[in-house]
Amino acid sequence: MGFKAILRILPWAIVLVLLAFLWLRRLSNYSTPEKFSIENTTVLQEIEALGKLELVKYRFKEVIEAEELAKRYLDLGIFYFPAGQDQKAILIAKGEAVACVDLTKLEAKDFQIEKDTIFVQLPAPELCYYKIDLDKSTFYDLKTSKDEKKAAEFIDKVYAKAEVQIKDAAQESGILADAERMAGLVLNPMFEGLTNKKVIITYKLKPVKLAPEGKDLLEK
């Protein structure tokens, strides 16, 4: 091939090389950075170890008054025939409620990376548990049936009502909103330390107060 022929081909060769370079560069813009999957995997492994992250604990002291009237026959107001003994109790109950975020519900799709920022969508905070401390709770003015089975059932109902009151009190006091605030304070530093990026946390569902319990547990 002569020198003149090479000169004629050279400009076209240069154009082809430039087009190939531009095409490869444009194609790279649509590729997924390898770093994304590495960061995702690292974060997910860390949160799997945490499980349900307990964030806020409320302690309560509740006064529960309960009364259960025995069945009456020929009840005319003042005069009646009782079928058993009335039961009555005043319980000073101490207990606690704990709010948490269930990190086991997180998936890879809940993490979105945009340049130097990671957006994390957490599950809504929830009540992990609520309970009364039997050792620190005390009955006052306790009157129960001589029937041991009925007496035990009545006491169980009083304890159950105390637990419901603790749950309701925790929700009304804003425990879920407090858990949402604490989640950011606890998890932001951890995620930023793992990824070396700014982290913005949002929630799949905003915490809401659960519907109150239905009928009174002591109703007949």
pLDDT, position 2: 57
Task: Give the residue-averaged pLDDT of 172-190.
Answer: 88
Task: Give the residue-averaged pLDDT of 32-54.
Answer: 57
Contact between residue 166 and residue 132 where contact means Cβ atoms under 8 Å apart: yes
Task: Give the residue-averaged pLDDT of 28-53.
Answer: 55
Contacts of 1 (CB under 8 A, 6+ apart): none
The mean pLDDT value of the chain amounts to: 75
Which structure tokens are listed for 20?
């190939």
Cα angle 56, 58, 63; round to 5: 165
Contact between residue 125 and residue 101 where contact means Cβ atoms under 8 Å apart: yes
Q: Give the C-alpha separation, 150 to 9, whole Å.
A: 104
Contact between residue 86 and residue 141 where contact means Cβ atoms under 8 Å apart: no
- The more confidently predicted of residues 165 and 206 is 165
Instruction: Please return the burial class of 18, using the count of CB atoms within 10 Å of its CB with bins 0-12, 13-18 and 19+.
Output: exposed
pTM of the model: 0.65
- Whether the pLDDT of residue 166 is over 50: the answer is yes
pLDDT, position 118: 83
pLDDT tens-digit map of 69-125 = 776 665 556 655 556 788 899 999 999 999 999 888 888 888 888 888 888 888 899
Backbone phi and psi for residue 87, each to the nearest 5 degrees, phi listed first: -125, 140
Task: Give the residue-averaged pLDDT of 189-214.
Answer: 69
- Whether the pLDDT of residue 130 is over 90: the answer is yes
